[in-house]
């Protein structure tokens, strides 16, 4: 399953697929950067509701987007994080910079 | 049956990252791991194979070899991931958290850390311009009989 992109109230919501590895991260990096460069979004929210696997490539991709959004005065958040991916985020220290949101379907 | 082994060799393309981790998870299921142990193994395999593809071959074409061995006496999975790519100049530094040679590609520098955290043993052997061998093992907890 590929990712979905939707803007809601100025926030780009990236609905992540089943897995987030290097293969997917490369694709998401290019796509989200198009949105960032275009301007007009205040934040990016990565929705993990459907995601069951992530490795360090996912962490790198999120931190990269965080740096770009922060430089533009924006934010990056995550939502719908399950137990396994939560563990990866905790070990990597991602929660020190990334906000956790609840998402309403 | 005391051991069981398998070897896979595949192209260094990113689509094979998921193939490799799913294949190892399926093979290791013979040791009856918990869901969390399977996730640990999948993450560690993904990190090692991604390293070979991105850093070892820098996205150029090459082969990655993945050997897996199950030991039913020790209840242990051993993995050897080999590439014949550019090698790692300084292995101790590469293993440090957040160290990466490719920040421009948004690499987090956490790959070896995850391998270390999620497995019970990690050895990295590398020679410049010759390649890298990553050895990992994981002890699978014995589940109580049903």
Query: Nearest Cβ partner of B42 from A25, A53, A57?
Result: A53
Q: Which residues of B are marked as active site?
A: 47, 51, 107
Question: Average pLDDT in the B84-104 region?
Answer: 94
Q: What is the pLDDT of residues A1-45, one digit of tens each?
A: 689 999 999 999 999 999 999 999 999 999 999 999 998 899 999
Q: Provide DSSP, A20-78.
A: ESHHHHHHHHHHHHHHHHH---SEEEEE-TT--EE-HHHHHHHHHHHHHHHHTT-EEEE
Decide if pLDDT at A105 tops 90.
no
B104 pLDDT band (50/70/90 cuts)? confident
- CA pair distance A20, A48, nearest whole angstrom: 9
Percent of chain B residues topping a pLDDT of 90: 90
Among B36, B47, B105, whose Cβ lies nearest the Cβ of A56?
A: B47
Q: Is the pTM of this model over 0.80?
A: yes
The answer to whether the Cβ–Cβ distance between B106 and A23 falls below 8 Å is no
CB contact under 8 Å between B46 and A84, yes or no, is no
pLDDT tens track for A53-102: 999 999 999 999 999 999 999 999 999 999 999 999 999 999 999 999 98
Is the pLDDT score of B146 beyond 60? Answer: no
Q: Tell me the ipTM for this assembly.
A: 0.90
The pLDDT of residue B132 is 98
């Amino acid at each position: 399953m590929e990712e979905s992109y939707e803007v809601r109230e100025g926030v780009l919501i990236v609905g992540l697929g089943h897995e987030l590895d290097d293969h997917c991260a490369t694709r998401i990096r290019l796509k989200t950067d198009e949105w960032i460069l275009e301007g007009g979004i205040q934040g990016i929210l990565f929705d993990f509701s459907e995601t069951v696997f992530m490795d360090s490539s996912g962490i790198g991709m999120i931190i990269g987007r965080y740096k770009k959004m922060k430089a533009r005065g924006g934010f990056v958040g995550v939502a719908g994080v399950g137990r396994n991916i939560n563990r990866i985020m905790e070990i990597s220290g991602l929660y020190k910079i990334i906000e956790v949101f609840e998402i309403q379907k | 049956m005391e051991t069981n082994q398998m070897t896979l060799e595949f192209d260094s393309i990113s689509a094979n990252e998921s193939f490799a981790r799913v294949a190892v998870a399926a093979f290791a299921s013979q040791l009856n791991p918990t869901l969390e142990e399977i996730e640990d193994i999948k993450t560690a395999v993904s990190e090692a194979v991604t390293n070979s593809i991105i850093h070892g071959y820098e996205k150029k074409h090459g082969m990655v070899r993945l050997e897996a061995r199950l030991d039913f006496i020790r209840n242990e999975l051993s993995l050897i991931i080999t590439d014949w790519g550019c090698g790692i100049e300084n292995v101790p530094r590469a293993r440090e958290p957040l160290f990466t040679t490719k920040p421009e590609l948004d690499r987090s520098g956490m790959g070896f850390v995850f391998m270390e955290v999620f497995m019970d043993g990690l050895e990295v052997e590398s020679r410049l311009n010759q390649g890298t061998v990553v050895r990992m093992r994981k002890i699978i907890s014995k589940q109580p009989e049903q």
